[in-house]
A and B are shown apart, each in its own frame.
Chain A
Amino acid sequence: MQPQVLIEARALSKRFGDLIAVDGIDFEVVQGECFGLLGPNGAGKTSTIRMICCVSPVTSGSLRVLGMDPAHEARTIKARLGVVPQDDNLDSDLSAFENLRAYARYFDIDATTAKQRAAEVLDLMALTDKADAKIDQLSGGMKRRLVVARALMSQPELLVLDEPTTGLDPQARQLFWRKLRQLKRDGMTMLLTTHYMEEAAQLCDRVIIMDESHIIARGTPRDLIADVIGREVVEVHFEEGRHREALAGVRSLANGFEVEETEDVIYIFERDGQHAESLDLRGLEAIGSEVVLRKASLEDVFLRLTGRELIE
């Protein structure tokens, strides 16, 4: 049996006047998976998410969410989505519990059920003892988990998370990921945007990478790493001013490898049939101040495809 398609985008585009935010992208999200939408800031991730959440009209192309058209069935779609926005748009005038209760009301959930579900989702997100806390008494990580708890109040079929861990410290992020993995195990379908590649690697079954409003790569994190980068990467760090000679040295030793340079690091990537282990590491050490052999990561894929330059 084919898995059920929850989101289907075909030649989906979004324009704001002359600015093309999303330019004819195709993808689908199937039931039970965690699907990652990756890309640098301004790539078109949030515009895509906003169209899916029915708060931004589609300019052209087609978009089906839970089998429905956002232009005509926004209320029905929104009733079945759980949305975790980029900003903590919690109601700071209300307590944690009251936030959940007010939100439940928007979904026509009656008071008794709301109370019961609030207890469940607070427990799931490890926030039970914060039920009566005011929003500004919560830490950044707690606020983010409360936003997820809020999104779960309506028992959604699909959870949409827009850069959910931006601004969290590593501990809070780890806990947050653990909670999302738990949801995933329970069968929740998730669509996640992020620019943290570790987050995508930890959580996502499949990802697409967007850049300048297009999709530039897609696949499982593992396949993308293998296809774009290989298994391992060697980094040669060198001192300032030795750029030219370091590069020349690396080129001669890493003949046939893919070499990429930045101001203070040279990266050596594997090509078909080559292995980083076969490189003369001692020779490289003589060139640079530090040489690192490490496993390739999704971050390498991302930087390789979207460029190392700062995009502003």
Chain B
Amino acid sequence: MMALTDIDVSYRTLKVWRRNADVFQRLWRAEILWPVIEPLIVILGVGLGLGRFVELESGEDYIVFLTPGVMAAFAMWAAIAEGAWASYNRMAWQKTYDAMIATPVSIDDVITGEITWAASRGVLSTCFLVIITVALTPVWGLVDSPLVVLAIPTAFLLGFMFGSMALLATSLVTSVSQLGYFVSLIVIPMFWVGGVFFPPEELSRGMQIFAWFLPLSHAVNLQRGWVTGDVALSMLVDLIWILIVTAILYRTVLWSMRRRLIK
């Protein structure tokens, strides 16, 4: 096991990020559609459709409640899709990592660049959602505060956390289908009980404790604060928990990827 301080990251990590950005620039037409359409379907379909049957204690419209949760959840999905399938493909099939570590780029540069790129995909998703929800605000009152712009840098942090998580899964699996276990056992449960679709108060006591530990719950709290403008001190707790989880995941994925690729 490496010492905690033994992290070999340099400015070259940006070149890894740049490589992914170059590819995205080539393929964005094919890649942009679904990440844009899917959250919109959820907000409109679930928010308006299902929302007609939902009455919240707070009295707000369901679609208004749903908006910040979807922002956080799709930043998560964007980062996870990149850090799991796309990164696995680069690592195992295209051997892009092997090509990069033959140059002055270190393995830690590669992994950090990959995570940063996954985080950028999260930012992109949130940027889009901020634009759309602000545009729809005159109709459904989705956004209550100019602080909503802070959802964008927050998405970077969330993307970095979930990107680290996905890359950790990538470093452990031996086939792309095994990534399905990571998604169905970890990501999807988090997606459903992480405070996106209903307030955690609706859960049983035990489940509430469980939900508290899920990083997505705190991600949703932060985005809710920026979207509604109800900034509370508790958001500091959310932020600290996210930073702790991120630090643990990031350190672990560097160790795990080194173990896998530097044999």
List chain A positions with a Cβ less than 8 A from chain B: 16, 50, 53, 55-57, 74-76, 78-79, 81, 83, 85, 87, 89-94, 98, 102-103, 105-108, 154
Contacts and interface: CB of A to CB of B under 8 A. Distances in A.
Nearest to B95: A89
B99 interface: yes
B27 A78 contact: no
Contacts of B105: 106
B102 A105 contact: no
B99 A103 contact: yes
A102 B262 contact: no
15 contacts: A74-B106, A75-B10, A75-B104, A78-B104, A81-B102, A89-B99, A90-B99, A91-B19, A91-B23, A91-B96, A93-B94, A102-B18, A102-B22, A106-B12, A107-B104
Interface in B1-53: 10, 12, 15, 18-19, 22-23, 26-27
Contact of B262 (A57, A75, A83): A57
A76 to B, nearest CB: 8
Nearest to B94: A92
Size bracket, chain B contacts: 20 to 34
A57 to B, nearest CB: 7
A105 B27 CA distance: 21
Given A87-B98, A93-B26, A105 B262 contact: no
A102 B102 contact: no
A85 B102 contact: yes
Q: Is the interface of B mostly helix, strand, loop or mixed?
A: helix
- For B23, B101, B104, which residue has the most chain A Cβ atoms within 10 angstroms? B104
A87 B95 CA distance: 8
What are the nearest 4 A-B pairs in CB distance? Answer: A89-B95, A106-B103, A83-B102, A89-B99
Contacts, number: 69
B94 A55 contact: no
A11 to B, nearest CB: 21
A81 B103 CA distance: 8
A130 B100 CA distance: 22
A79 B98 CA distance: 15
Contacts of B96: 89, 91
Most chain B beta-carbon contacts within 10 A, residue among A50, A56, A102: A102
B205 interface: no
B110 to A, nearest CB: 10
B30 to A, nearest CB: 11
B80 to A, nearest CB: 20
Contact of B23 (A87, A93, A105): A93
Contact of A85 (B26, B98, B104, B261): B98
A55 B103 contact: no
